[in-house]
Amino acid sequence: MIGQTAKEEFVITLDFLPHGYPFDSRPMHQKTAIAQAIGKERFTLLELVPKKGEFLQPHEEVYIGEGKRDKIHHIVGKIPLSKLTQTAKSELDFIIDKMVDKNEKKFVDFFNNAGPINTRMHQMELLPGIGKKHTRMIIDERMERPFESFEDVKSRVKLVPDPKKTVIRRIYAELNNEDKHKLFVYL
């Protein structure tokens, strides 16, 4: 995923504020509805303005790509994790968990294909709880045969924390901008 700059096509709604943000001090007639959403492919957190009369539901999948959009008027831009509403933050846990489950093959492929970043560090070491020793064990196992699932990684590489939880923790670290390297999130 390092170096990808493609845009999101679909997002999943985290929160919908039909009257805009409560802290917006503008008169009611100047406020616009706001939706906070996460991209399905690159976990990009976005602020969107829906078309007039559109009411988005949490967990609703919405098209935001090029061309005609049914429900979204425009994209305001990317937003940091810290700017999400409480509702959006609480939905985020559930949605990221679901997205990782749905795209398990993509994340297992990371375990199968991750390479070195430089001569001293491997992409695998960017995952929480994975050090040089674990990285070596993962590489040795994947050379015998590729991993097929999170469960396969867990059963073949002893002492590795839960691979799914490790991936989710890394996604949150990237959403928090805790590291300059990006494996799964495009900011």
Residue 163: the pLDDT is 94
Q: Quick one: average pLDDT of 108-129?
A: 94
In a domain, 18, yes or no: yes
Q: Which domain holds residue 143?
A: 103-175
Lowest mean pLDDT segment, chosen from 2-6, 29-33, 68-72, 167-171: 2-6
Identify the CATH number of the domain in which residue 110 sits.
Answer: 1.10.150.280
Identify the CATH number of the domain in which residue 67 sits.
Answer: 2.40.50.140
Residue 161: the pLDDT is 76
In a domain, 20, yes or no: yes
Check residue 173 and give left, alpha or beta (phi > 0: left; psi -120 to 50: alpha).
alpha
What mean pLDDT is reported for the chain?
A: 90
Q: Is the pLDDT of residue 125 over 70?
A: yes
DSSP 4-19: --PPPSEEEEEEEETT
Examine the domain organization and report whether 79 and 114 are in the same domain.
no
Residue 6: the pLDDT is 63
Distance CA 101, CA 107 (A): 9
Q: Quick one: average pLDDT of 115-144?
A: 93
Question: What is the percentage of the chain residues whose pLDDT exceeds 70?
Answer: 95
In a domain, 92, yes or no: no
In a domain, 54, yes or no: yes
Residue 116: the pLDDT is 93
Residue 104: the pLDDT is 96
Distance CA 13, CA 5 (A): 22
Residue 2: the pLDDT is 42
Q: Is the pLDDT of residue 37 over 90?
A: yes
Residue 187: the pLDDT is 58
Distance CA 90, CA 84 (A): 10
Residue 25: the pLDDT is 72
Q: Quick one: average pLDDT of 29-49?
A: 89
Q: Quick one: average pLDDT of 122-149?
A: 94
